Structures are given as C-alpha cells and as structure tokens.
C-alpha cells in the first residue's frame, strides 16, 4: 500500500517522537506508550475480560465497571482474507473504484488472548500464514481536505522471535 508508513525491514518497532503528532482516525483506539504504539481497550474490573474497541459494559459478567487498558502491539495472525472491493458506507477512505487496491484484513490474537480485527499491510496470500507473528503499525488510509494523512491501525508481519 503506497500510503503506508510501515517501517522498512529491520527497523526496530520504536517510533520516533515526531510521529506522536500524527492524526489518528480515532484517538479512542490507540495511543503512544513509552514510544511505541499500543491499542487501547477495556478491562472489566469484576471479571478481567478484555474488550476491543473499548466497551461500556461487560458481555461476560454484565459488569459495568470497565477501565481503559493498553493492549500492546503484538500478536499472531489468527485468521485473514483479502478484501477485493471498496468497503461500503460508512467507510470514509478516499480511494475511488479506479485506484482501489485490494488489502488484507484479519484477526490478530494478541499476547493477552484477545482477538482484534484489523487491516493488514500485506495483501499477498503468499506472505500471510495463520499463526505468524504480527505487530501494530499505522496505515494512512485517507487524507484530510488539507492533504494531511489520517491514520488507522493495521498489523504487519513481524520477525519471528528468536528461540529462547
């Protein structure tokens, strides 16, 4: 994807501080923590269940006490597909039918077990494998009228962790 800001191969996943001024499609879903991007979800105070995106009530125990919690930025690919057509409304990306490029979408199982649906930076089936390590990144999926990119979260393939 041409608008992606994914780091080049070998770049450690610690973003420079100037990226903290980037526009997000929503400030409710992700933030910067110790220099790295992290998803934000909810944790049920009563039973510990995790939710993404943030929730107001717990669907497991019906508790209403939920706190924001950082969900981290890495996991493993749980399921995926390639979206071959432009999403319907209310999707507000600025691609047209003429310049639309198929993109990957999938579920990533985070280290805490929560499965998160997200765009993938890769749309080539040959590069996607169930269980492969993935890490959070940003995807510039549209621009403001002033031409500033607006970023959403996405996952990209990550290097396999070395054996312990």
Interface positions with Zn ion (CB under 5 A): 44, 46-47, 49, 58, 60-61, 63
3-state secondary structure of 106: strand
**Least distance to Zn ion from the beta carbon of 18, Å?**
39
Residue 51 or 155 having the CB closest to Zn ion: 51
Q: How far is CA 145 from the centre of its chain?
A: 24
**Least distance to Zn ion from the beta carbon of 68, Å?**
15
Residue 39 or 58 having the CB closest to Zn ion: 58
Which residues does 39 contact at the CB level (< 8 Å), separation at least 6?
29, 30, 52, 70, 71, 72, 73, 110, 116, 136, 153
DSSP bridge partners of 119: 105, 154
Residue 49 or 109 having the CB closest to Zn ion: 49
């Amino acid at each position: 994807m041409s608008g992606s800001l994914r780091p080049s191969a070998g770049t450690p996943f610690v973003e420079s501080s100037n990226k903290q001024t980037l526009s997000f499609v929503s400030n409710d879903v992700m933030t910067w923590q110790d220099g790295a991007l992290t998803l934000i979800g909810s944790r049920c105070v009563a039973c510990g269940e995790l939710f993404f995106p943030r929730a107001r009530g717990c669907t497991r125990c019906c508790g209403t006490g939920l706190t924001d919690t950082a969900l981290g930025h890495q996991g493993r690919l749980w399921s995926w597909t390639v979206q071959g057509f432009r999403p319907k409304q209310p999707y507000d990306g600025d691609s047209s039918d003429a310049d639309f490029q198929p993109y990957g979408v999938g579920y990533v199982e985070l280290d805490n077990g929560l499965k998160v649906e997200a765009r993938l930076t890769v749309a080539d089936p040959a590069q996607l494998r169930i269980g492969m390590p993935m890490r959070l990144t940003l995807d510039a999926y549209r621009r403001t009228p002033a031409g500033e990119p607006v970023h959403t979260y996405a996952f990209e393939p990550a290097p396999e962790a070395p054996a312990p």
